[in-house]
A = this chain, B = another copy of it.
Amino acid sequence: MKTRIKELRARYSLTQAELARRVGVRRETIVFLEKGEYNPSLKLAVKICRELNTPVEELFLFEDNELDK
């Protein structure tokens, strides 16, 4: 999974720490998410989307073969 969190976060001049604080997780969690190293809960994903004013499908990008099985 790829994500545009880092890009959007920069656009709003938010630090990882500040974004983490706003959505109620640890900064390390944001680091892992930005690296695409894990698959957040839907609730966390939606919270981040709201902070970054971006729809879920635009912030989190799945390759096609990642979704079918």
Q: Which interface class (under 10, 10 to 19, 20 to 34, 35 or more) fits A?
A: 10 to 19
Scan A1-30; emit 1 where CB is below 8 A from any B CB, else 0. Answer: 100000000000000000000001000000
The count of identical subunits is: 2
The yes or no answer to A50 lying at the interface (CB within 8 A) is yes
Contact of A42 among B39, B50, B55 (CB under 8 A): B39
Whole-angstrom CA separation of A40 from B45 in the bound complex: 11
A62 to chain B: which residues have CB within 8 Å? Answer: 43, 46
Q: Chain A: residues with CB nearer than 8 A to chain B?
A: 1, 24, 39-43, 45-47, 50, 55-57, 60, 62, 66-67, 69
Report, nearest first, the 3 A-B pairs whose CB atoms are least far apart: A56-B56, A42-B45, A24-B69
